[in-house]
Amino acid sequence: MLLVEEVTKNFGKFTALKKINIEFHNGVYGLLAPNGAGKTTLIKMLTTLLFPTSGTIRYEGHDIIKMDDKYRELIGYLPQEFGYYKNYSPTAYLLYLAALKGIDRKTAVARVKELLKIVALDHVATKKMKKFSGGMIQRVGIAQAMLNDPRILILDEPTAGLDPKERVRFRNLLTNLARDRIVILSTHIVSDVESIANEIIMIKNQEVLYKDTVINICRKIDGLVYETEVDYGDTEKFRSTYLTLSEKQETGKMHMRFLTTEDAKPEWKTVHPNLEDVFLYIYQDEVPSAGDDFDD
Amino acid sequence: MRLLFEELKKLFTVKTIILLLLVSIIIYQMFIVFDFKHFPNGRPVLDEFLATQKMLEDYGESMDEDEFEDFKSIYDQRINEATQYLQSQDDMVAAGLDSYTKFKSIDLENEKLAALHNKVYHEDYVDVFWEIPAREDMIERYEHPERYIQQYGQINEKQKARIEELMKNGAATAIFSYQVFENYNTLIKNVAILIFLSIMLVILPLYIGDRRNHAVFLQYTSKVGRTLFTKKLLAGLIASFIVITVQLVCFFFLYKGNDISMFLPLTLHSIYNAFISWYDITFLQYILLTVVSIYLIGLALVLVTACISSIAPNYMTSVGLHVPLAFILFGVGTTYLVQNLTTLYLFKYLLPVLLAAILSLSFILFWWKYKREKWKDIT
Ligand SMILES: Nc1ncnc2c1ncn2[C@@H]1O[C@H](COP(=O)(O)OP(=O)(O)OP(=O)(O)O)[C@@H](O)[C@H]1O
Ligand SMILES: [Mg+2]
């Protein structure tokens, strides 16, 4: 069990995360929050790249900072910015990282081969990464995180750059892996985690807002989500009155999905809320600002 | 071991090696080859060098009174040879120059005679005419050992005592060649500059590279973690050791061509050398001292360059920070730590004190950086 206790992280005067408490057991955890919410900050603390300003993180009761290499041995990490050597082949690079992870050479060679197959890069195993596409690089990153068969797999926006087919493969892979380990992945793409995460963690205003199953989280706005059809001419007015969640054109009318606490009108059809609805609802008043795009 | 090797591999990329070769070739062409090609540089310097070589062959490490008589007799012989040469030349005889004595006292204002003088020296390059003034000079120096002291001008009691001690211990009769010493001194300074520059080029990307491309996130979260910082330093030290050694081997291989091996076992202290050390050392020992000094400065340089590499936010800043360092190191640095080591002009313990100070300062600097690296937020 990985336990985050009262963790606060300040960057100078700026507070990125405030009194965070989270318990991780085996399974997939989706860290879902918009840009700049502090996902990477939390993940970097879980990987010992950042030190909490206050609070502790424990694995099986031991402070991960005191555990030192004993802890790092247990983790696999894909950073948001995956660093690679463009003149290396995936095989050479993974072998280098295996050396850093203290995996002996013979084991590493076999493992690298196996992993490159899993991420479907075996056909370019010895090609220089210079010419790889973004998605291929990302897959090298995913492979590298699994080199040491980690107890805790931490992935910061792992699906960035993957095509739909690879996304599906990746999700299946994670579901398999999560049976006997902790998998934490951050994303702001709801569909990445909706189907596979055992629990979703949502961060708002530097604090954990929800940590629950998808179903339970969706229940928070049960009965508030509707669908209806609106004339084209009225869409502007509709949008400004209700929180529209999605819209699409349909046979001369506009099909709107929206959320409101007002009493339902007869032409509205109540629907089951999904995670995306919750996301849009929770973060509706967050105006994207320049600062949000600032990573590390 | 494996990690060390991996890090070394990253320091010696094909690009770096090509860059090192290019820089070496350029620096050799611009600053070093000259002192190989033109050694001994000109005349009568060459003649003096040849005479010194013969001196060594004939008399051994020093020249006593009897041997000096012999040396002088060779001089007389050369004068005879010069005279014979003049007598064999019709134009010389016609001008009344039928002996070396007459030739020597030529009135150079007289255009006709000056032309003849010029012909002997610069058109016909008659060796013996070059050799005579060289030998003359050497004889004079032997006969006036006090000039050895006088060349030092204002000296304090300790320095005076040192020179007197050397004179008593045979400097007055010891054989050496200031050209050999000067030549080595010039060469080793430029070689040291090349070595230090090479070290900078190799160590510059040590930390900055992995930080810039974010590989550091993977490194510091792997089992080895932040101890990689010191492993990389070790790789840097090994890399620099290799660079220094290869550069020195290449240099001494070329230096062998100067054919000065007979000077190696000789003491530096001779009236035929202008350099005085605080310590009784031979030329070979002096060379070894410069080599040791280069290795030690190289070590300090790795520490400092590594620090810069771990602090500088980008390559431009890093290069910028290296500029003043290079300025100091290539200038006064080499002047005091590679050239004229242990010279009587300076404080007796300057070299060990300076080296110790530089090494401990750079160690402290690196240690400070290492401590910080351990608890730094990696963002
Ligand atoms: N080193 C730093 N110094 C100052 N502020 C920082 C630093 N790192 C992050 N921040 C701030 O902390 C907040 C959280 O950043 P973080 O990178 O954790 O967000 P994120 O949720 O990962 O965003 P994204 O989805 O864009 O990756 C941001 O407002 C960011 O500006
Ligand atoms: Mg992030």
Distance A156 CA to ligand 2 centre (A): 7
Q: Which residues of B314-335 are buried (b: 16+ CB within 10 A; e: fewer)?
A: eeeebeebbeebbeebbeebbe
The reported pLDDT for the residue numbered B41 is 78
More reliable by pLDDT, A51 or A166 = A51
What angle in degrees, to the nearest 10, is found between the helix axes of A134-145 and A164-177? 10
Q: What is the CA radius of gyration of chain B?
A: 28
Q: Are B10 and B204 in contact (CB under 8 A)?
A: no
The answer to whether residue B124 is domain-embedded is: yes
Q: Torsions phi, psi of B95, nearest 5?
A: -85, 5
What is the CB neighbour count within 10 angstroms for residue A197? 26
Residues A113 and A237 in one domain: no
The answer to whether residue A190 is domain-embedded is: yes
Per-residue pLDDT band for B239 (boundaries 50, 70, 90) equals very high
The answer to whether residue A237 is domain-embedded is: yes
Of A117, A113, A119, A122, nearest in space to A166 by CA: A119
Q: What's the number of domains chain A is made of?
A: 2
- Among the candidates B120, B154, B188, a domain finishes at B154
Residues A157 and A131 in one domain: yes
Residue B256: pLDDT above 90? yes
Residues A137 and A252 in one domain: no
The reported pLDDT for the residue numbered A234 is 87
Q: Which residues of B touch A44 (CB under 8 A)?
A: 377-379
Q: Which residues contact B314 (CB under 8 A, 6 or more apart)?
A: B208, B212
Residues A130 and A237 in one domain: no
The reported pLDDT for the residue numbered A288 is 53
What pTM does this model have? 0.90
Residues A234 and A248 in one domain: yes
- Among the candidates B154, B188, B205, a domain finishes at B154
DSSP state of A183: E
Q: What's the number of domains chain B is made of?
A: 2
Residues A154 and A237 in one domain: no
Distance A61 CA to ligand 2 centre (A): 27
Mean pLDDT confidence for B283-292: 97
DSSP state of B170: I
Which domain covers residue A238, as residue numbers? 223-271
Residue A295: pLDDT above 70? no
- Among the candidates B102, B119, B154, a domain finishes at B154
**Percent of residues, chain A, with pLDDT higher than 90:** 73
Residue B265: pLDDT above 90? yes
Mean pLDDT confidence for B164-173: 88
Tell me if B215 and A85 make a contact (CB, 8 A cut-off): yes
Tokens of A65: 């900072």
Per-residue pLDDT of A158-212, as tens digits, reads 988 888 888 888 888 888 888 899 999 998 888 888 888 999 999 999 999 999 9
Residues A11 and A97 in one domain: yes
The answer to whether residue B161 is domain-embedded is: no
Q: Which residues contact A182 (CB under 8 A, 6 or more apart)?
A: A2, A24, A25, A26, A27, A29, A151, A152, A153
SS3 of A203, please? strand
Residues B116 and B217 in one domain: no
When mean pLDDT is compared across A258-267, B180-189, B317-326, the lowest value belongs to: A258-267
Tell me if A48 and B225 make a contact (CB, 8 A cut-off): yes
More reliable by pLDDT, B148 or A198 = A198
Tell me if B218 and A79 make a contact (CB, 8 A cut-off): yes
* Cβ-based interface (< 8 Å): residues of A facing B: 44, 47-51, 68-69, 72-73, 75, 77, 79, 81-85, 87, 96-97, 99-102, 105, 144, 148, 296
The reported pLDDT for the residue numbered A292 is 41
- Among the candidates A190, A218, A246, a domain finishes at A218
- Among the candidates A218, A236, A262, a domain finishes at A218
Residues A229 and A210 in one domain: no
The CATH number that applies at residue A91 is 3.40.50.300
Residues B221 and B343 in one domain: yes
Q: Torsions phi, psi of B221, nearest 5?
A: -100, 5
List the single best residue of A88, A93, A96 to mutate versus B (max B Cβ within 10 A): A96
More reliable by pLDDT, B345 or B201 = B201
Per-residue pLDDT band for A296 (boundaries 50, 70, 90) equals very low
Residues A131 and A179 in one domain: yes
Residues A199 and A131 in one domain: yes
The answer to whether residue A214 is domain-embedded is: yes
The answer to whether residue A292 is domain-embedded is: no
Per-residue pLDDT of A76-117, as tens digits, reads 999 999 999 999 999 999 999 999 999 999 999 999 999 999
Tell me if A105 and B2 make a contact (CB, 8 A cut-off): yes
Q: Which residues contact B257 (CB under 8 A, 6 or more apart)?
A: B36
Distance of alpha carbon B133 from alpha carbon B144, whole angstroms: 16
Residues B135 and B223 in one domain: no
Provide residues with CB under 6 Å of ligand 1.
A 11, 14, 16, 33, 35-41, 80, 188, 291, 294-296; B 379
Question: Which B-chain residues 200-219 have CB contacts (< 8 A) with chain A?
Answer: 210, 213-219
Name the residue at shortest CA distance from atom 3 of ligand 1. A11
Q: Torsions phi, psi of A149, nearest 5?
A: 45, 60
Residues A148 and A254 in one domain: no
Residue A290: pLDDT above 50? no
More reliable by pLDDT, B175 or B104 = B175
More reliable by pLDDT, A293 or B95 = B95
Residues A196 and A247 in one domain: no
The answer to whether residue A80 is domain-embedded is: yes
Distance of alpha carbon B215 from alpha carbon B205, whole angstroms: 13
Residues B36 and B68 in one domain: no
The reported pLDDT for the residue numbered A293 is 42
Q: Which residues of B touch A105 (CB under 8 A)?
A: 2
The answer to whether residue A288 is domain-embedded is: no
Name the residue at shortest CA distance from atom 7 of ligand 1. A296
C-alpha distances in Å from residue A136, one per residue of A90, A127, A130, B89: 10, 12, 11, 88
Residue A285: pLDDT above 70? yes
Distance of alpha carbon B298 from alpha carbon B320, whole angstroms: 20
Q: Torsions phi, psi of B109, nearest 5?
A: -70, -30
Distance of alpha carbon A183 from alpha carbon B232, whole angstroms: 31
Which domain covers residue B90, as residue numbers? 63-154
Distance of alpha carbon B310 from alpha carbon B210, whole angstroms: 10
SS3 of A28, please? strand
